Structure 1
Amino acid sequence: MRGVLQKEFFQNKLQKKIIFLKDVALSGVLCIKGNHHFNVSFMTMIVYC
């Protein structure tokens, strides 16, 4: 029983993470379009935005 709950909990966390990453990617794309000085990696882009 507990294993089933843990699995569902993990899947929920994974879904939220995927949604979050999609949001980050989208805002990253928008940031690149608005930022002409962009020439750094994806992670630093998140920091700069």
Structure 2
Amino acid sequence: MAAWTGSSTTSVRALIHRHVFRNPDWSAEELFERLGVFEVGDTRFGRFLEGRA
């Protein structure tokens, strides 16, 4: 899967809102893949999760 497939004028926030909340056609795995979560280290991913709490 490619990174972001939206146009350059579409914000990341807008894409997440569209594909996760308004028209939920992305799984959690797809969302994380598009965010690049699987390419970052465990420590950085842990900090990301802590920031969402």
**TM-score normalised to structure 1 length:** 0.27
More helix by share: 1
